[in-house]
Amino acid sequence: MRAYVVADVFTDVPLAGNPAAVFLDAEGLSIDTMQRAARELNLSETVFVLRAEGDADAEVRIFTPATELPFAGHPVLGTAFVLGEMMGLEVVRLATGAGIVPVALTRRDGVIVDGEMEQPLPTWEPFERDEELLDALGLGSARLPIELYDNGPRHVYVVLGDEDEVAAITPDLGAIAALGAFGVSCCAISDGHVKTRMFAPALGVAEDPATGSAAGPLAVHLARHGEIAFGRQIEIRQGAEIGRPSTLYARVDGDATRLQRVLVGGSAVVVARGEYALD
């Protein structure tokens, strides 16, 4: 039997945010078993914790119901909350497929209430199939250039004029999946608050309640195009349309010529513990 914990991430109340399952000891499990377990749990991501070498406190393998990801935000943050509590750490360093991700934890009265991860720096390029993507989203145009970012997983950003446009999107998930294995973040900014929805059907996630790996590149995208200042923290709201309201915070330090740090944070709460019969 393998012990696991479920944490709702990017929320401070149960049954909101984005749930992640964290298997606390995955030593000896095959990749096939990990993938099948993630498919059975059917959460956006499931994490398997392994012993790490070097500077990391643990190694993590991250799976959606359909595939393994080198890095993902909400499972990393959720795992840091769980391991930070178990190990009494102020900073949890997790070895991912995209490198070591440190997560700084904040406690109040001895309880972890917030975490901030320093994400891998993304690269970006124009998204060449922008008209097909707009058609799949049922949109006529975007307010900023549509670009693809890569920080382990890949995300395409479609910035719209206001929050109502984002809320009204009815995507053709089959058409989006046919364009490639990436997430599509549709968003609008108002007074430093960003409303976003993220669709990743080719990765087994129709609509994600909270996407930490997309939050960092989103801040980069908005800063590069002059929508926010470098160094300014933004609040990202996601998940309302699927009944899982989430709040994420993101900041990019540096300037348009050189990124220094990409930081993404939020809260998490453990909502379940159990065991699974995995070999």
**Positions marked active-site:** 45
- Give the residue ranges of DSSP H helices in the chain: 31-41, 73-87, 130-137, 163-167, 173-179, 212-224
d(CA 110, CA 204): 37
Query: In terms of DSSP bridges, do strands 234-238 and 193-200 run parallel, antiparallel, or are they unpaired?
Result: parallel
Provide the token pair at 36.
Answer: 């099948």
DSSP 93-129: EEEETTEEEEEEEEEETTEEEEEEEEPPPPEEEE-TT
Determine the residue type at 275: E
Beta bridge partners of 107: 112
Burial 128-157 (b: 16+ CB within 10 A, else e): eebeebeebbebeebebebbbbbbbbbbbb
Give one word for 145, left, alpha or beta, with left for phi > 0 and alpha for psi -120 to 50: beta
Query: In terms of DSSP bridges, do strands 268-276 and 2-9 run parallel, antiparallel, or are they unpaired?
Result: antiparallel
d(CA 206, CA 228): 29
Closest by CA to 6, choosing from 38, 51, 53, is 38
